Homo-oligomer: A and B are copies of this chain.
């Protein structure tokens, strides 16, 4: 569970409620609850996104919200250590000895790469198969990120459509001066909803998915470099030096003298 994302969202939501209530009691929040406004803003924006995507992509996009609360299992330092172990194994007992070690590997991408070199696949082909996979993983993720970015753009757009409808209705009949204020307040609620949808929910989700994607792609690139180095029979110390370039100075400290061969 990634606490930061959850806390960030709760803080934002809480402060909004706090701003609405002001010094008054919680009943003040009711001024900000309006079902028709919610329907036109959220419904309109979601309808719009639905019409932009094949149904499967729409459902898939919605589901990705759960990902932002998960901490990814894989980890660069661990992955590099695994690669160094495998390279030591391969130098001692040959590439074929890697086959059984794949049973203990958790990452499917890593497993696939090791299987390819165990099968004696040509290095160029190994690289092109694994890179095609990275490109396609990235494309699928970008499509999910796009889902949330589009929703972040459509929220304020439909909020404005709702506000325009409210304003036009209000302006058509100004005979009762006392109703002007409250009517305008209701008209503004859709703008608020659209703004909250974009800035509290969608933009953070899109950004978080982007960070997770960047990390996953970088991790897979580390794996490709490692797998090809194992296949080339490179010295585990050189492999370690090469892969440590991917780490930040802090992460590198995780490698003591015991890290290498």
Contact = CB atoms under 8 A, between A and B. Distances in A.
Interface of A: 2-12, 15-16, 18-20, 22, 28, 31-32, 36, 39-40, 43-44, 46-55, 57-58, 68, 71, 108, 116, 121, 125, 128-130, 132-133, 136, 139-140, 143, 150, 153-154, 157-158, 160-162, 164-174, 178, 180-182, 184-185, 188-189, 191-192, 195-196, 198-200, 203-204, 207-208, 211, 214, 218, 238, 241-242, 245-249
Most chain B CB atoms below 10 A, which of A31, A54, A153, A246? A54
Chain A contact residues: helix, strand, loop or mixed: helix
A32 B168 contact: yes
B125 A203 contact: no
Q: Which of A10, A121, A128, A188 has the most CB of B within 10 A?
A: A188
B189 A5 contact: no
Max chain B Cβ within 10 angstroms of own Cβ: one of A8, A150, A162:
A8
Kindly report how many copies of this chain are found in the complex they form together.
5
Contact of A44 (B15, B68, B167, B198): B15
Given A20-B169, A125-B242, 7 more contacts: A8-B47, A12-B158, A15-B47, A18-B40, A31-B169, A48-B203, A172-B185
B246 A136 contact: yes
Contacts of A207: 52-53, 150
A170 B22 CA distance: 12
Contacts of A169: 20, 22, 28, 31
Given A15-B47, A18-B39, A47-B8, A52 B168 contact: no
Contacts of A204: 48-49, 51-52
Given A36-B18, A181-B171, A43 B11 contact: yes
